[in-house]
């Protein structure tokens, strides 16, 4: 370990996206429907809904943040006359060359992206993959390599084949582990030599909030979500081992939404301090298992106390211990503040995610979606995670979702986005230079505008690249550079010295 005066020479500057939020072409070239294809659009105050059809033909919808099982005989389905924002995304499927060229123009060293599972296995339980889906990602990786960009690939980012949901409840069933491993093995073998960095699951701790996005589970109840999360943890560990066997050059990472672990007590009341710690543990438990290879005692105690029954076999224990990750990655957007006072004001009282977003922090401003802006929280996250695991860290996501206004000439002066990112990069530099954190890279979220995961909106824009698409499903899909595009180019050129 050496003392650093800045970011390392091979720092992975870049951006991150997810297949379901930008590819579109949801039913082309053999792709099967995924969990995102039945999600409607929401807003900051209106949840996204999942649509279904009953055996009698009667249709219905349920909220993604207030889930329950479907009526008997019903299954999730794409309904006519409903608008599903992910179906078109920003049509990266047909624009990937242009988009990767724009990333290269900014000087990207890395592009974190995901593969759409249902492009490779349309229903999830086939034995042979869909060649056209594989060929698409060959083309994307080749394009990245041509432009000198290292792909960092998330195997499962907030989606999975809808077939597995309708068949046996997705990750509620142990059989999904085998389907995931068959899929992962196909990726490891096909893209050997093209892809070296892999992330097994995006924000695996989203299973503390909703079972749907990450796991196709129709519940927000921990007694249902956490047993399903156990199967994901086993699948992740087995995938890590397999990837190392197939190519010892492979580097495997876990990924959590660390905003759920940067938790502040509303004041110095020890009861609030403890509440903050309990909340953070709900996030750390996932990385504890993935980085250390076993369940931490606090989590096992919680399961016993709360009657949460996980199907933890002796074989699972062995698999978990053999499949620890090489690096830790996380997303960081905001911190969370908690209070034992039931009357403490929520930071976003009208949001379907109000409990996740926590109570107001008088020291922090929040975005239009109630996400507390807190650059120091990123330094805290880096320090805590590095101290806990002593493994290299990748900041896999960080960015500002904001409403952009286009000037009459089409330009976007997004100084607020530059300000947000500048302060967060300064904080991460402090973590590297002052605190000695081993940071591998920074892939900001949403270098190009795309569909929001939590709300399904386009107007919640993160990009350096503007995409002409609106929430009323109009727009030319034309790409253009925002002011932040030129700013980020300089940041990368100077390896983070010019901010
Ligand atoms: C993370 C996800 O939660 O944050 C992304 O990994 C998501 O998929 C991003 O898009 C930003 O969240 P949102 O809800 O603003 O899109």
Residue 325 belongs to domain spanning: 12-31+88-493
Tell whether 168 is covered by a domain: yes
Ligand 1 pocket residue status of 453, Cβ below 6 Å: yes
pLDDT at res. 359: 98
Confidence of residue 58 (pLDDT cuts 50, 70, 90): very high
Count of the separate structural domains present in the chain: 1
Does residue 457's CB lie within 6 angstroms of at least one atom of ligand 1? no
Give the residue, by CA position, lying nearest to ligand 1 atom 16. Answer: 452
- pLDDT value of residue 150: 98
The verdict on residue 44 lying in a domain is no
Residue 482 in domain? yes
Cα–Cα distances in angstroms (integers) from residue 25 to residues 63, 92, 163, 491, 493, in the given order: 25, 9, 18, 33, 34
The mean pLDDT of 330-340, rounded to a whole number, is 98
Question: Is 203 an active-site residue?
Answer: yes
Give domain status of residue 380, yes or no.
yes
Do the Cβ atoms of 191 and 249 come closer than 8 Å?
no
pLDDT digits (tens, 9 = 90+) for 165-197: 999 999 999 999 999 999 999 999 999 999 999
- Position 309 scores a pLDDT of 98
Q: Exactly one of 23, 88, 203, 457 is catalytic; which is it?
A: 203
Identify whether 43 is part of a domain: no
Provide the pLDDT confidence category of residue 1 given band limits of 50, 70 and 90.
Answer: low
pLDDT of residue 343: 97
CATH code, domain carrying 388: 3.20.20.80
In a domain, 74, yes or no: no
Domain-located, residue 67: no
453 CA distance to ligand 1 centroid (A)? 5
Number of Cβ atoms within 10 Å of the Cβ of 447: 26
Question: Above pLDDT 70, what percent of the chain?
Answer: 100
pLDDT of residue 42: 95
What pLDDT is attached to residue 191? 98
203 CB near ligand 1 (under 6 Å) = yes
Residue 3 scores a pLDDT above 80: no
Mean pLDDT (whole number) for 388-414: 97
Please report the pLDDT score of residue 5 as a whole number.
86
* 309 located within any domain: yes
Cβ–ligand 1 contact at 444 (below 6 Å): no
pLDDT at 2 over 70: no
Active-site option among 397, 457, 493, 497: 397
Catalytic residue at 493? no
* 206 touches ligand 1 (CB under 6 Å): no
């Amino acid at each position: 370990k050496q003392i650093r005066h800045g970011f390392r020479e091979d720092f992975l500057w870049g951006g991150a996206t997810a297949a379901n939020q930008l590819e579109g072409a949801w039913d082309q070239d053999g792709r099967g429907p995924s969990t995102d294809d039945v999600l409607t659009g929401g807003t900051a105050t209106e949840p996204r809904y999942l649509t279904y059809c009953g055996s009698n033909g009667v249709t219905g919808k349920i909220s993604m943040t207030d889930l329950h099982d479907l009526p008997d005989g019903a299954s999730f389905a794409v309904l006519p006359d409903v608008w599903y924002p992910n179906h078109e995304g920003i049509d990266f499927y047909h624009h990937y060359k242009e988009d990767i060229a724009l990333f290269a123009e900014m000087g990207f060293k890395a592009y974190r992206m995901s593969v759409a599972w249902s492009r490779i296995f349309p229903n999830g339980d086939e034995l042979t993959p869909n060649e056209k889906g594989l060929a698409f990602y060959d083309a994307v990786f080749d394009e990245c390599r041509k432009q000198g960009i290292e792909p960092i690939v998330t195997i499962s980012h907030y989606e999975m084949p809808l077939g597995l949901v309708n068949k046996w409840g997705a990750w509620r069933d142990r059989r999904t582990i085998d389907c995931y491993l068959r899929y992962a093995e196909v990726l490891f073998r096909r893209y050997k030599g093209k892809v070296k960095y892999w992330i097994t699951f995006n924000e695996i701790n989203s299973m503390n909030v909703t079972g749907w996005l990450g796991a196709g589970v129709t519940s927000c109840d921990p007694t249902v979500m956490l047993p399903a999360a156990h199967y994901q943890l086993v699948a992740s560990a087995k995938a890590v081992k397999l990837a190392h066997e197939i190519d010892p050059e492979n580097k495997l990472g876990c990924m959590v939404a660390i905003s759920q672990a940067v938790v502040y007590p509303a004041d110095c009341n020890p009861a609030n301090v403890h509440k903050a710690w309990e909340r953070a543990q709900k996030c750390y438990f996932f990385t504890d298992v993935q980085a250390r290879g076993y369940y931490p005692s606090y989590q096992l105690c919680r399961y016993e106390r709360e009657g949460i029954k996980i199907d933890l076999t002796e074989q699972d224990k062995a698999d978990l211990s053999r499949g620890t990750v090489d690096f830790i990655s996380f997303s960081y957007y905001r911190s969370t503040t908690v209070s034992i006072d039931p009357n403490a004001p929520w930071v976003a009282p009208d949001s379907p995610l109000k409990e996740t977003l926590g109570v107001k922090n008088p020291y922090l401003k929040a975005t239009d979606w109630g996400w507390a802006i807190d650059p120091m929280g990123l330094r805290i996250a880096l320090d805590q995670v590095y101290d806990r695991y002593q493994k290299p860290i990748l900041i896999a996501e960080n960015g500002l979702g904001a409403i952009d206004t286009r000037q009459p000439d089409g330009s976007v002066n997004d100084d607020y986005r530059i300000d947000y990112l500048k302060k967060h990069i300064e904080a991460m530099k402090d973590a590297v230079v002052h605190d000695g954190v081993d940071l591998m890279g920074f892939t900001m979220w949403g270098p190009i505008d795309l569909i929001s995961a939590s709300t399904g909106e386009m107007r919640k824009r993160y990009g350096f690249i503007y995409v002409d698409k609106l929430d009323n499903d109009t727009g030319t899909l034309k790409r253009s550079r925002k002011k932040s595009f030129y700013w980020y180019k300089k940041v990368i050129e100077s390896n983070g010295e010019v901010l």
